[in-house]
């Protein structure tokens, strides 16, 4: 038979259970506090990274919105006509110069799509295409050799009935998005 004298008494078992439970509580508390600390540190580092990232990207994004608004302003028919008109110019020459300038300005600003939203870029492209369409429709209604003034008047007549114009709608959209950066 076994020696019952070597068995633990109930008091000793209770002490062992209390020690184990206390140790478990201490371990669980330490684990929880360490986890809380490391989670807090990770959140803090993430926030610091985002803050530093924002210091770099917000100015770039804001500059992109500024450049796209400037592109829109430069692409409006009245701005194009004033910049390109020449007394000896024909309507065909004005049309070609306007289209060429729009495309050149657009190509110059292609990289800006990296810094603005897809929706903003789509609005810009749509506005550009609408301006080109208006120029081409007006040019189709006039003789190619007609004085540039006839094409200018036809374009502006089509432009002023649009409310809002594609350019104004795009500028408003870009401004709204740029304001969301702050």
Question: In this structure, is residue 9 part of a structural domain?
Answer: no
Range of the domain at 127: 59-179
Helix-helix angle 77-84:91-108, to 10 degrees: 110
- Percent of the chain past pLDDT 90, that is, above it, reads 79
Alpha-carbon torsion (37, 40, 46, 52), positive or negative: negative
Question: In this structure, is residue 70 part of a structural domain?
Answer: yes
Question: In this structure, is residue 40 part of a structural domain?
Answer: no
Which residue ranges in the chain fall short of pLDDT 50? 1
Instruction: Say how far residue 24 (Cα) sits from the centre of its chain.
Output: 51
The reported pLDDT for the residue numbered 48 is 86
The reported pLDDT for the residue numbered 12 is 84
Question: In this structure, is residue 13 part of a structural domain?
Answer: no
Question: In this structure, is residue 109 part of a structural domain?
Answer: yes
- Total count of domains within the chain: 1
155: tokens are: 């374009």
Question: In this structure, is residue 97 part of a structural domain?
Answer: yes
Beta carbons within 10 angstroms of residue 126's beta carbon: 14
Question: In this structure, is residue 136 part of a structural domain?
Answer: yes
Question: In this structure, is residue 169 part of a structural domain?
Answer: yes
């Amino acid at each position: 038979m076994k020696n019952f004298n070597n068995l633990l008494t109930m008091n000793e078992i209770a002490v062992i259970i209390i020690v184990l439970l206390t140790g478990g509580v201490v371990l669980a508390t330490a684990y929880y506090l360490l986890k809380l600390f490391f989670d807090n540190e990770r959140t803090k580092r993430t926030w610091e990274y985002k803050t530093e990232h924002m210091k770099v990207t917000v100015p770039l994004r804001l500059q992109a919105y500024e450049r796209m608004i400037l592109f829109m302003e430069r692409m409006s028919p009245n701005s194009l006509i004033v910049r390109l008109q020449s007394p000896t110019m024909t309507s065909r020459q004005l049309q070609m110069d306007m289209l060429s300038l729009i495309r050149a300005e657009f190509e110059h600003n292609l990289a800006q799509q990296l810094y603005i939203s897809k929706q903003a870029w789509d609005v810009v492209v749509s506005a550009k295409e609408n301006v080109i369409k208006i120029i081409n429709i007006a040019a189709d209604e006039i003789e190619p050799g007609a004085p540039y003034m006839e094409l200018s008047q036809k374009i502006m007549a089509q432009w002023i009935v649009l409310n809002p114009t594609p350019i104004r709608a795009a500028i408003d959209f870009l401004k709204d998005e740029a304001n969301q950066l702050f």
